[in-house]
Amino acid sequence: MRKLFWYMLKEEWRLHSTMFGSLSFALFPIMVGGMAFMGSFLLPFIRRSLPPGNLSLILHSNYLLLGFMVGAFGLLGNEAMNRRFGQASLIAYAARTLPVSDREIFATFVLKDLLYYFVLWVFPFALGFLLASPFLGIPLYHPFLLSLTLTISFLSGLSLIFFLSSLYSRTHAGLFAIMCILILILAGYGIMTGDNPARLFPPLILFEDFSLLLLGECLIGIIILSAVGVLLFTPENIAASRQYRDQILPLSRLLSRFPTPALSAKDLIDLYRSGSAIGQTLFSFLIPLLVIWFFLSLTSDYLPKRNVLFLYAMTTGIIASTMYTWLTAFDSFASYACLPVSVKTVIISKIASFTVLQVIPVVFLAIICMISGQAVYLVPVIVLALSTSFFTLAVTVWLAGLSPNVLVYDVKVMVRYFFLIGLVTAVFSSIAFANPWASLSSVILAIPAWFLIRLGCKKWEIQEQPVY
């Protein structure tokens, strides 16, 4: 297993360095560390505006979210074992030809990915903060403790989603039963104590009051959830065989106002028949956003409830933009190469399919507005979320074309992505905080979004499409 683990690590490096160069890939964690290092010097100014504890709350919730976003291994099933990078056959597929069990290979695959994301995201951030600490007069104890608790946050999110997604691949009813029980427990706690259940997040408690006992409990919980996730994993589709009636023609007619109705219909049918539509919505959208809502609600003593809602709307828009990745993750352009279909046509079809999927964040935000008692702001909230989502989509198309799930680790791509999204978020969150109805002005983002999509289509038309 150790040799298999080492080979998988080498394979990961080879794949990414082939995609966009060894130097660019190697610079990615350095970029994260550099951002943490420079951001640390803003701490004295941040402390003047943020109440004590809120900064650590934001950091731990972000790393919990990162764990959520990368931990849905159980959803991938056979895809994780074969087509994680489009058409590339990975070592993980060796269980089909060698006397190595699927479960052993998958467990190694998960461990490799765990280390992979740790090296890319968790360790560089902690190191950047550690290097800046002597200049800020911060005791070294704090950066070491923060690196530990951020790691626990990341692993907590990853192991929980891994367990739930593996359970989902086995039994949908079992998953929903467990989620209902968890929601009832958290709601009951909130009603009985009047406190936000997010305050019970173990890594946050660990950072504020370190305890070896709590650390041990966190690690045991992570190990148990991960082990059960591996045991539940199956590379095969265990659901009963299904028959589907022809949907391409009626769906194409329904989407006839779109530029490429047939291709858009194909995308939606693929999502529906593979089960990805429900699974991705649940694990890549709803669960992360519900957790973010819990953590954002803790800032209500600092931020007005209205401002929390608009900040949440922008966050929802950014996460909703990842639906474009759902549509492109396992759909290589090589499949279209023998057809009279251009890269621009495929990109436009993905954007059209993406537009249909935006009904999910619209319904979700409408429910949030009703529950939070702020239905009066429903229109500006939805406009702000959709404007953010489509602008982020446009940036993704311009920077990554049809391969956003791969090119995201190109440091040149990520720096520009962070800069543009951060700039827009800063500007329009300030506008929304000043006057909620002024956030309707975010529709102006349609202009740069249209411009970026045009640039992206032109850019990727003249470049050879990568085949992985």
| pLDDT (tens digit per residue) in 174-202 | 888 888 888 888 878 878 887 777 778 89
Residue 117: what residue type? Y
Instruction: Give just the sign of the alpha carbon dihedral 257, 258, 264, 268.
Output: negative
pLDDT at 329: 75
- Across the range 317-331, mean pLDDT stands at 86
Q: Please, which pLDDT band fits residue 51 given cuts at 50, 70 and 90?
A: low
Top-confidence range, 123-137, 139-153, 379-393: 379-393
- Across the range 94-109, mean pLDDT stands at 74
**pLDDT tens column, 378-425:** 999 999 999 999 999 999 999 998 888 777 777 788 889 989 999 999
Q: How far apart are CA 27 and CA 24, in angstroms?
A: 5
- Across the range 89-118, mean pLDDT stands at 76
pLDDT at 367: 93
pTM for this one? 0.82
The pLDDT mean for the chain works out to 83
